[in-house]
Structure 1
Amino acid sequence: MLIDKDPFNCFMPYEAIRVAHAADGPLAGLTLAVKDIFDVAGYRTGSGCPTRLAQSPVARKTASAAQRLLDAGAQFVGKTHTDELAWSMYGMNAHFGTPVNPAAPDRIPGGSSSGSAVAVAGGLADIAIGSDTGGSVRAPASFCGIWGLRPTHGRVCLDGVQPLAPSYDAVGLFARDGATLARAADALLGPDTAALPPNPVLLRPTDMIAQLAAEQQAIYVSVFGALQAQDVEVFPQGVAAVYDIFLTTISGDAKAAIVPWIKASGMPLVRGIHGRVAAAEQLAEAQIADARKARANYAAKIVALLGDTGVLLAPVVPEAPFRLDAPIEVFDTYRHDAMRLLCVAGLVGLPQVTFPAGSIDGAPFGLSLIGPRGSDLSLIALANALAKGTTT
């Protein structure tokens, strides 16, 4: 890392190697942290995995997503921790440790982009780049009380980034405020391809809100309750059926993209990854193909629901971050509970902006907007307008 101190254990302890950046540009004066699944010239890429790190050559070229931010003037300050192979949601790494959540030190920081979220929340970087496959930017943004963007799928190039599930993998961004997120997103994404109109149609997803407990629903109402919004459902087949499509397709992707390396490398499988690898290996190709067809049908319905002007006023996750010493049952269930909300944007490839909305038992709780494909920048602008006055 290129900073003096890391009180939150969010940076990888690599030898400090300076990375060139533009002397001026729209991001001049901002510091940048990069998740350690992205190649950065002069550094190895460990992906939170000792075996992967041992096999990694020193990168000669920086991943184009990170390079765009450097070319816009952002100054690189280090590579950040990630859950092993980016295949978890809690931010806890058995090999390299757990970054400390600056907003709630006794709680999980969220993952897999844990270090990037913590670096921003702790003021060690102004912006950070992460990846979001099943929720790895959106969840830690909510948990750490900061802003996060999962962009339209495919809008940002993924070269030089370790894949996990390619039809879900997306480059994401963190910032402490919406204005800085908009500034970074503009540099990373370029102009919207389908900007929202000045007065978009606001949609209230009742079957997402129903997954929240009373205290979380109260925060939702405090932020969105006064807005004129139409009630809609985003799980027409039921939550369980849609979530099964998500699990099967994301695991099918992982079976092809990362499981072969895991098996060939002989890396030790810690709890969590072991079960996910086993589940992916058990999937039959016909089962994956059927789920992909069901995903396409589901996506078509949600795209039609949003049209060019619709925006979902959406929960991000069902709860504030749980405690680091929570019972194992919490670890086993929370991931699935969270992804039953997070899966909507991923299944359809939609942009989702997360912002701080309130707190529960002293820990942050975020809300979000989900918009049509290609509406990323205008969605951030709308979030900035609607989020004014919210607190963590």
Structure 2
Amino acid sequence: MTMRDDPFGAFMPYPPVPVAHAAEGPLAGLTLAVKDIFHVAGHRTGAGCPTWLAQSPVHDTTAPAVQTLLDAGARFLGKTHTDELAWSMYGMNAHFGTPVNPAAPGRIPGGSSSGSAVAVAGGLADIAIGSDTGGSVRAPASFCGIWGWRPTHGLIPMAGAMALAPSFDACGIFARDGATLARAAAVLMDRDAAPLTAPRLLVPRDMLALLGPAAQRIWQQGFGALSAREVTVYPEGVEVAYATFLTAVMADAKETILPFIRQSRMPLVRGIDGRADAAEALTPDQIADGRAARDAFTAYLDRLLARSGVLLAPVVQDAPFRLDAPVEVFDRFRHEAQRLLCVAGMARLPQVVFPARRIDGAPFGLSLIGPRGSDLSLIALAQELTSLKETL
């Protein structure tokens, strides 16, 4: 992928290295972009971090999830930009730049899977792999006006990828339409572990309460006419759930990525510095309490959804903000968004994002959250609901 072929800056400027793919298969004819935390044979892995890139070997094997798509006929185009160490959600990288959001130039593309989302939204790739820890597939999908899938945690292997918070990290997929997303998902998993046979639609009233008027209207336009039962998603309130999420994620990061940060003495950009300090400060008791509270939240969501419940959920609280927004917008937006994004991540549930409408000219997506192992059914239901909406 050359600069001329990549007007949005989605891809890392690595030397092109041929990567073999099957000549035939269910994904034949589709092109594939890969977030630069996944290993691809013949390439280094940069993880959005010059220090990580400098220490990376040229890998001789490809991450299993990527290899599965190649074996199904997808053609590799290149590795895509990510926020540094995949530890942010805006898509802005102080070292390698910020990809242009094709659906809303001048606004954040979303991260940390920024390049993968932009490659798909800009028509450069048909499908793209990203990772989602706290929302790094779901938020960019909403911001760039495309489809995104965070799978049931552990369903798609994260082997051969940089780990940030392993009990949250998930390998997700972007596509411009639901049919293409379904094709890719069906390659990564041949059947549902727990298929939805008679979905019960649920309205998460406490998630909706976090939306502003414009986002509320879009949710009503997308889901308001459906017959659904109101439920409460945060059993002890949203602030307790969000605090639990932050503790559980940082507890993982303290064990996984913080040792590299400290041992390498890499310079820390604004944002990562505070998160690294917060992770380091966690005590064993705080970690144990946070993980226990997460398990309780997961058990509550499992009971709420059972085998057939589907949340008609917002993705984030607003459209992507402008790159030149005041610093207080940068400081506030992530926390507001992750109050919504933490639901599926903490409970290890699948979430499918699809385009809805626009707020002030920028995309805003909606989503479905389903029971663990219902991924293919959930994507099919999202296709059904969006097709129904288009015919009304």
Pair 1:281-2:272 in alignment: no
Please say if residues 110 and 136 of structure 1, whose CA atoms lie closer than 8 Å, have aligned partners that are also in contact: yes
Please say if residues 3 and 9 of structure 2, whose CA atoms lie closer than 8 Å, have aligned partners that are also in contact: no
Please say if residues 223 and 390 of structure 1, whose CA atoms lie closer than 8 Å, have aligned partners that are also in contact: no
Deviations 1:235-282 (A, max 9, x none): 110000011100000000000000000100111000000000000011
Q: For residues 194-233 of structure 1, what are the structure 2 equivalents within 5 Å?
A: 194-197=194-197, 199-233=198-232
Q: Which residue of 1 aligns with 2:165?
A: 165
Structure 2: which amino acid aligns with 1:332? D
Identical-pair percentage: 69
Please say if residues 175 and 181 of structure 1, whose CA atoms lie closer than 8 Å, have aligned partners that are also in contact: yes
Q: For residues 288-367 of structure 1, what are the structure 2 equivalents within 5 Å?
A: 288-367=287-366
Deviations 1:139-165 (A, max 9, x none): 000000000000000001111100000
Q: For residues 136-285 of structure 1, what are the structure 2 equivalents within 5 Å?
A: 136-197=136-197, 199-285=198-284
For residues 203 and 148 of structure 2, what CA distance do their matches in structure 1 show? 21
Cα drift, residue 3 of structure 1: 8.4
Deviations 1:75-102 (A, max 9, x none): 0000000000000000000000000000
Structure 1: which amino acid aligns with 2:19? V
Cα drift, residue 285 of structure 1: 1.1
Q: Which residue of 1 aligns with 2:127?
A: 127
Q: Which residue of 1 aligns with 2:112?
A: 112
- TM value normalised by structure 1: 0.98
Cα drift, residue 188 of structure 1: 1.3
Please say if residues 358 and 390 of structure 1, whose CA atoms lie closer than 8 Å, have aligned partners that are also in contact: no
Cα drift, residue 190 of structure 1: 2.2
Structure 2 CA distance for partners of 1:309 and 1:52, relative to 1, 3 Å: same
Cα drift, residue 390 of structure 1: 5.7
Structure 2: which amino acid aligns with 1:61? T
Q: Which residue of 1 aligns with 2:66?
A: 66
Runs (5+) with no aligned partner, structure 2:
none
Residue 149 of structure 2 aligns to a residue whose secondary structure is strand
Structure 2: which amino acid aligns with 1:158? M
Q: Which residue of 2 aligns with 1:376?
A: 375
Aligned pair count reads 390
Please say if residues 145 and 364 of structure 2, whose CA atoms lie closer than 8 Å, have aligned partners that are also in contact: yes
Structure 1: which amino acid aligns with 2:209? A
Q: For residues 26-41 of structure 1, what are the structure 2 equivalents within 5 Å?
A: 26-41=26-41
Residue 261 of structure 1 aligns to a residue whose secondary structure is helix
Please say if residues 320 and 363 of structure 1, whose CA atoms lie closer than 8 Å, have aligned partners that are also in contact: yes
For residues 322 and 116 of structure 2, what CA distance do their matches in structure 1 show? 20
The runs of 4+ residues in structure 1 deviating greater than 2 Å are 1-4, 388-391
Structure 2: which amino acid aligns with 1:106? G
Cα drift, residue 340 of structure 1: 0.1
Please say if residues 101 and 109 of structure 1, whose CA atoms lie closer than 8 Å, have aligned partners that are also in contact: yes
For residues 43 and 139 of structure 1, what CA distance do their matches in structure 2 show? 27
- TM value normalised by structure 2: 0.98
Structure 2: which amino acid aligns with 1:252? A
